[in-house]
A and B are shown apart, each in its own frame.
Chain A
Amino acid sequence: MNISIIGGRVIDPASNTDATLNLHIKDETLIAMGDAPNGFSADQTIDAAGKIVCPGLVDMAAHLREPGHTAKGTLASETLAAAKGGITTLICTPDTEPCIDSPADIEFIHRMARKLCQARVLTAAAMTQGLEGKQLASMATLRNSGCVAVSNARRPLANTLVERRALEYASTFGMTVFLHPEDRHLKAGGCAHEGAVATRLGLPGIPSAAETVAVARDLALAEHTGARIHFCTLSAGTSARMISEAKKAKLAVSADVAAHQLHLTEQDIDGFDAQCHLEPPLRTLQDRDFLRRAVADGTIAAICSDHQPHEPDAKEAPFPESQPGLSGLETLLALTLRLVDEGVMPLSDALARITCGPADLLNLPYGRLAEGLPADICIFDPEAHWTLASESMLSAGKNSPFLGWEFKGKVTHTVFNGHLVYQAD
């Protein structure tokens, strides 16, 4: 199938492109930017006039729930939601049931995703067997099966020695290690940022230090081992500062932040809103602003969805007993564009954080528009206003604190690997 996308404003942050260009796709590949090659005839032409054409989004962290938690979401439902969100590449977390710690687990997911053909699903495989934090997983075998990183999700490692060994072993094979910095002792059963709001609501708090202590420890071990580490879903401004300093010292370190952390704060949990029960917790306005600056200056190179769909029951409980997380695939682009509207960063930089930014961290050939690459393309109407409603969400999880929010910038078409996988009504 040949597709031409005509008349759109093409923005490709990877190549610094911002121009009105036509794109031409043959089968799975973007074959031309500009004039159509001789003899090319499009089976389908998409009129992108007035729209922005950018690389398909790359999401560093999505909990896709299958296998094991299919009441919350399935590969089918969540990749469909991804397509609606303009996301063409997802890195799924290993905390499924069973967890992704063997080649068979990886192959199952990759095979299912290929069959569904709605988005590219890549895997961050388990760093320790069963994610139990004790015994190293067979990282080399997992890498050969196609995982792009190893991670222990949000499960703790038994001790710093296990972490040291895991970093050393992963670096033997040049693998990136995803770390969710959190000191479980300081977390101490908390469910909200330890600050004025949690104090007033009597919610057990998670101090910022639960994250920064872990970041400091992980940076020390990264320096010691020379491993390539990536911090997932930061929440504390101080963490960003520490990472910035580590980068100046030439450590192989990177970081991402969940889109919602750049918009919500501890104030949003007032009234015990379980939709705002998140891990890591929403912190202060100062933290949010610090994270925004770190995203703008590139210290944080990726914005992810940290997508965690839930069945309704998971949130239908008193705040501390509700399950943390939000369904974020369908708001990743809109929340990122909102940063542009709020003057945090220019459009091209914002798009970079959800396209080539995350792709480059893992040396993936995605999140960019170039002749000869797989045709992963997101087309959105930058002026379209829309309101998030649970009825219109495609994710199985309707759990979002952004329900009822009005957004500007709406995906109209998503092309994944040369296939038109989503088209707005």
Chain B
Amino acid sequence: MTEQRIFMNEDAILNIIDGMARMLKERLAKNGIEDPAMIGIHTGGAWVAEQLHQRLGLSQPLGLLDINFYRDDFTKSGVNPLVKPSTIDFDIENQHVILVDDVLQTGRTIRAAMNEIFDFGRPKSILLATLIERNGRQLPIEPSIVGLQPPLEKDEHIRLEGPSPLTLTVNKSKKRRTEKPTN
């Protein structure tokens, strides 16, 4: 039922992340943002965020969000067995935040993530950086920084596997529930 192909390997992914880091620096400078904090969305977003966090040399510790309990389909899909605590070891209040995810598709994950962030406090601004942006948006959410916009068929699912090595794979299926349905 499912064909899987490797879409991109680690070297290429890290190259893209280098590019994202450059774009982010430019954007921060342009917006006059100093000392932003970064939050990665569990699991793939966190891997991308770790790379970006290093490259930007941010002073605040990297935050991690597990948005399982904020998902709009929680009682349909249930708890992901690998649920992790969200850890944000800095004060969100009045903080510029860079939110990082691996794949932006429907926009539902980002909606959930922003809700969760607001439960920690009122950030001054949020920038959204995503490794992959693809078609299929269901909510009016647009990324600030995009690594790659690959052409994908509707029945193709792209996902980031890691943490080491990072690999992007594409699954083609008739009807398959992915492990993380709200990209």
On whether A and B touch (CB less than 8 Å), the answer reads no
Q: What is A's interface to B at a CB cutoff of 8 Å?
A: none
Chain B positions near chain A (C-beta within 8 angstroms): none
